[in-house]
Amino acid sequence: MFSLLLGILYALAPTVCASLSHIQRATVGSELATGSATAYSMNVTNCPGYALGSLQESDIGLTAQLTLAGPTCNAYGLDISYLSIEVTYQSQSTLHVKIYDTANQQFTIPESVIERPAAPTTSYTGSSDLVFNYDAMPFAFWITRRSDPDAMPLFDTRTSSLPPTPIQPFNASDPSTAFDSFSLVFEDQYLQVASALPYGTNIYGLGEVIASSGFRRDIGTDGGVGTIQTHWNRDVADPIDQNMYGSHPIYLEHRYNATTGKASSSGVLLLGAAGSDIFLQTPAGSKVSLIEYRLIGGILDFYFFSGPTDAEVIDQYGSIIGYPMWQPAWGFGFHLCRWGYRNVSDDTENVAQMRAAGIPLEVQWNDIDLYHSYRDFTIDPVTFPGDELRAFIQELFLDIPVVDVGIAVTVNSTDVYDPFTRGVEEDVWIKNPDGSLYMGQVWPGYTVFPDWFSENILSVWTEGLQNWSDMGVEFSGIWLDMNEASSFCSDSCGTGANFSALAPLSVVGIVVPGYPECYNDTIWGPSGNMTINGTSTNSCAPGSTTMAVVEKRGAGAGGQQGVDLNSPPYAIHNAIGSLYRNTLATNATHYGGIAELDVHNLFGLMQGKTTHLAVQSVLPGKRPFLISRSTFPSAGKWTGHWLGDNYSKWQYMYLNIQGVLQFQIYQIPMVGADTCGFNGNTDEELCNRWMQLSAFMPFYRNHNMYDALPQEPYRWPSVANASRIAIAARYSLLPYWYTLFANASTAGFPPVRALFYEFPDEPELFTVDRQWLVGSDILVTPVLTPGATTVDGIFPGRGSVVWRDWYTHAVVNATSGGNTTLDAPIGHINVHIRDNSVLLLHQEPAYTIYETQQGPYALLVSLNAAGTAFGTAYVDDGISFPPGPSRSLTFQAAEGTLTIESMGEFAIQQKLETITVLGVQKPAQVTLDGPVQGWTWDEATEALVVSSVSVDLNGQVTLAWK
């Protein structure tokens, strides 16, 4: 949050920091470029590569030594002469290749931060589908499939497989976009390795990013210009084609063979925290595409995943970094927040209005308005008195407050702020190189920052949360914001400063500009209504292009003047320039002498992990619910994610989809956008459509900017109606959502899927990111443009799949392999059910998740042309941690019979009341473990409906029709 204001606030930094002398700055770490006696060549052309020797094979892989194969080139650092390589066949489908400095001086992510699997006890060297191949001189390696040894390797670092170098810059204004050599480079401040890829292959992942190319990354073919994906976490309001809140150096390749008409998928993870550039490019005249990694530290720690399906790649990745946390059932409800609920009365009124409008509200959130002087773990005694807040939360049941990352410094001897002083006592704050406290600036003024490597940070963090809860903030979950980490100055600007001279920042008088495309507030005023006095407020001409044009960014830091190329010597393309701008100085020091430069990208992950463990202590026996802005591999074990400070624009509603699809790859499935948009003002039509869209995303929250046009769904009757309809569908589908997330937590399978995951051999689906699948069986086709009353969508399967309307159960007359135009009046989102599916549903969606769960179940069976269907459901109490007793249900239909099998220790109290089977010819007889009288059949939908059956789901049941 607050990214849009950061540019304004950052302008204050020179004034804030002016009190520091140059000598003080050098001491406390604002002078990041310390200089070096070494003259770097700044070019990799003459880098010699490495030679392999001392090879030793074992039952699980091999080890060897790599020695620099010629004179040092010292391109952007000092060449490291001796490396070690370890190759481990981790499983049938996962291969681990680790190249590191033999002296172990380079930073490696500790097991305490990301726990990795132990070495295998079974040998897979002869059976793994992945095979490690190598050349000894110069050293290069390539990964092939045992099942398809003649195919192009999945990863291939041989220079003979890559285009000839040198290759001129693909961005003429940025010399760093040249490829001078593809030799392996391993220096203390610069690492480089490249691999050939099939020409124009399909690459997904490598985020976090909002890519102008869409979910499929631009690889430099088909008119594209290629990609530079920078991994350096930063606080910024949802930019296009730039680095942003999180870093996820994992990609999924969906490789299609046009000759055979078949596709297979694989994945590559480079598990490192160093700042980096990752290039995807196809040089002019090249017959192959390529990926090149450029890192400013660390080691080369690769994991390769064989798939061969997309979902299996994602599962295999999760088996390395950890599967997602178990979600409480209430987390799937509708959440409501805004920056600007100024007091408890605002919260109470908001909840009352939602209830009066009949729009289900599960969780009320509070932003920094809650705080006293913007200080974490406090409440304003006037606007949010503890007793009133406690009473409000206990009546609503669920509340989530925000926790910002900067902890205020006490301004004088009479200032009492226990979280800060306890942290000083326990030595848990990040330091300057001289051992003094590192002090940046955030909302409360000068702040310190938690050192997540500190031995005492968990106890201090837990104490802060427990005390906060005892004050009246009886939270059910926690919202982690600004944890890249964000700072309004770019050094330790509080060191030596007068703390009392810097007041907490103020937002009084803020004016929020901007409305969605096609709404002109200078003509129609600030209401955002779709019609005023019966006249449409849509200002766009019919058929005109309404979305903002998405443009590639410029040269970036690598080609900008004023970027310090000596610290580090290679300047990654951090879109804001210097690595320390709007964040912590890169020589800020963590426990054990760890430099911020090496661990910057881990900050949000480590806060999420610490907070998760702390919440377990504060709320024992209950599943934590966390949403974090900054993430890194394995963050999904501890937290969910929201897509950051987006905009109230139609373009950003569309971009919402690729963001959710990305985070399924990253094993952070509980993800969603700020519905109706955060920055700027929304309008009625956009909010109507977005409330519908988000109802079919995992995390469903409406949130907006301070003093922007209010956008709670009750504000417009049409939005209220659309919300009621969409939320009813969402709550009906809760057992399905819950089962998908149980599968994610136990096996890593993505709950939300791109269409080609399920239909991998249909190339027309490879770029589709305006539709998505919930699981394998629910297809969502939203309206993404203003003024539309129809929407085009593709129905996968090329005519082999029967798709039925969610609302009417009617079969869609779909175009095979192309778009079908669907009616989409305002208030309606198109949702379709795949054949061969069985969905367990809540029959009576209610106001809250708990009330919904107390009602009966329904079963919806969608038969395919062969008359078969299959489905599963997972049921438990939805809250216990660790998960307690559960029950697994299996539904299978064939040859006029539906069987329900039930296994587990959890006792399901609610009955199955209605069974609907679609695709049935009119039966003469229906039995449900005996004759059934209460059934009907509808000719138009071929729907057999068996009602009022009161089936016990704790045992086996058989329904038959003939």
Q: For the segment 734-743, what is each residue's pLDDT rounded down to a tens digit?
A: 999 999 999 9
* The two three-digit tokens of residue 931, written as one number: 């004759």
Flag whether pLDDT at 235 surpasses 60. Answer: yes
- Residue 537 identity: T
pLDDT the model gives residue 543 = 58
Position 423 confidence tier, pLDDT thresholds 50, 70, 90: very high
pLDDT the model gives residue 526 = 87
Q: For the segment 286-322, what is each residue's pLDDT rounded down to a tens digit?
A: 999 999 999 999 999 999 999 999 999 999 999 999 9
Mean pLDDT of 914-925: 97
* The two three-digit tokens of residue 101, written as one number: 């400095």
Parallel/antiparallel/unpaired status of strands 82-89 and 94-101: antiparallel
Better pLDDT: 878 or 30? 878
Sheet holding 943-946, edge to edge: 926-928, 957-961, 897-904, 887-894, 869-875, 837-842, 857-862, 912-918, 943-946, 935-938
* The two three-digit tokens of residue 591, written as one number: 């426990």
Cβ partners under 8 Å of residue 349, min gap 6: none
Flag whether pLDDT at 557 surpasses 70. Answer: no
pLDDT the model gives residue 933 = 86
Flag whether pLDDT at 829 surpasses 80. Answer: yes
Provide the annotated active-site residues: 481, 484, 645
Q: What is the mean pLDDT of the chain?
A: 92
Q: For the segment 46-64, what is each residue's pLDDT rounded down to a tens digit?
A: 999 999 999 999 999 999 9
Name the range with the highest mean pLDDT among 186-195, 538-547, 553-562.
186-195
* The two three-digit tokens of residue 85, written as one number: 């390589």
Lowest-confidence pick of 281-290, 545-554, 623-632, 762-771: 545-554
Flag whether pLDDT at 745 surpasses 50. Answer: yes
In whole angstroms, give the CA distance from residue 630 to residue 627.
Answer: 10
pLDDT the model gives residue 540 = 86
- 890 bridge partner residues: 872, 901
Q: For the segment 837-848, what is each residue's pLDDT rounded down to a tens digit?
A: 999 999 999 999
The owner of tokens 């966390």 is 626
Position 1 confidence tier, pLDDT thresholds 50, 70, 90: low
pLDDT the model gives residue 653 = 98
In whole angstroms, give the CA distance from residue 856 to residue 807.
Answer: 19
C-beta of residue 341 within 8 angstroms of C-beta of residue 406: no
pLDDT the model gives residue 545 = 44
Q: For the segment 769-808, what is each residue's pLDDT rounded down to a tens digit?
A: 999 999 999 999 999 999 999 999 999 999 999 999 999 9
Q: For the segment 84-117, what is each residue's pLDDT rounded down to a tens digit?
A: 999 999 999 999 999 999 999 999 999 999 999 9
pLDDT the model gives residue 850 = 97
In whole angstroms, give the CA distance from residue 651 to residue 647.
Answer: 9
pLDDT the model gives residue 842 = 98
Flag whether pLDDT at 353 surpasses 70. Answer: yes
Flag whether pLDDT at 564 surpasses 60. Answer: no
Flag whether pLDDT at 550 surpasses 70. Answer: no
* Terminal-residue alpha carbon distance, the chain: 59
pLDDT the model gives residue 765 = 98
* The two three-digit tokens of residue 770, written as one number: 């305006």
pLDDT the model gives residue 563 = 29
Position 5 confidence tier, pLDDT thresholds 50, 70, 90: low
pLDDT the model gives residue 35 = 39
Angle at 869 between CA 863 and CA 873, to 5 degrees: 125
Angle at 437 between CA 433 and CA 440, to 5 degrees: 100
Mean pLDDT of 395-399: 83
